[in-house]
Structure 1
Amino acid sequence: MTIDNNTGSVITLDEAIGYTHTFQGNNPDAIKSFFAGINKINRILGQDDCIGIRFYNGEDPVTGKNNLVLVGVDKDGEDITQGVILERLTVCPTHCPKNSVLIKP
């Protein structure tokens, strides 16, 4: 499978609910979601030759808390590691949406 600036699939809300509720049911103590602000996302996407973002699972070596590492990707599918790399995203819990159907009740 190749990657390009159109990689990924748009899914329905029902599919999204199925994925998130299944994960949350199987992993009740796990982080439910991560949030990154638009300005930070745009800094990654605005880099020369950037066609998208790769999301890495990460863990803080000091606190042991999970998070995501976001890095731009170029047209060859390589990480843009000399550019903007984003981490320390806001997580749910504790900053959760109040009315999202993607959070399992």
Structure 2
Amino acid sequence: MKITGKEGGPIDRASAKRWTANYRRQAGQGKVHCHMFGKDTIRELLDQDGCMGIKIYYALNDEGKQQVLLVSTDADGNNMEDGLILDKSASCPPDCSGTGDLDE
């Protein structure tokens, strides 16, 4: 599949609230339910030469804690093997500062 840079799209807030509530209910209390990356970090990933998109991988670190990895992809949808991989996001919990309506 050719990547155009326009993959993905918006959903309505009511669906997003329902979906995040579904996840929290299934995952259980105290489980990570979101990860936050800063805009400068994401921009650094997107600004790499040849980057046309981002894949988001679910992962478990060496301690068994849930992580998400952001990986740059080229126009053919291939991971950019020499590209930046992002981790080290702020996860909630434990860092749940600045909650919003998707956290309810």
Length-normalised TM-score, structure 2: 0.89
**Percent of aligned pairs sharing the same letter:** 28
Question: Contact conserved, 1:32 with 1:93, CA < 8 A, in 2?
Answer: yes
Q: Distance in 2 between matches of 1:10 and 1:4?
A: 16
Unaligned runs of 5+ in 2: none
- Residues 41-80 of structure 1: per-residue CA shift (max 9 Å, x gap): 011100111111110011112x111101111011000011
After TM superposition, which residue ranges in structure 1, 4 or more long, deviate above 3 angstroms? Answer: none
Deviation at 1:39, TM superposition (A): 1.2
**1:101 equivalent in alignment to 2:88:** no
Unaligned runs of 5+ in 1: none
- Residues 7-39 of structure 1: per-residue CA shift (max 9 Å, x gap): 112111101101101111111242110011111
- Bigger proportion of residues as helix: 2
Aligned pairs for 1:1-80 within 5 A: 3-29=3-29, 30-61=31-62, 63-80=63-80
Give RMSD over aligned pairs. Answer: 1.5
Length-normalised TM-score, structure 1: 0.89
Q: Distance in 2 between matches of 1:37 and 1:23?
A: 23
How many residues get paired?
103
Q: Distance in 1 between matches of 2:58 and 2:32?
A: 12
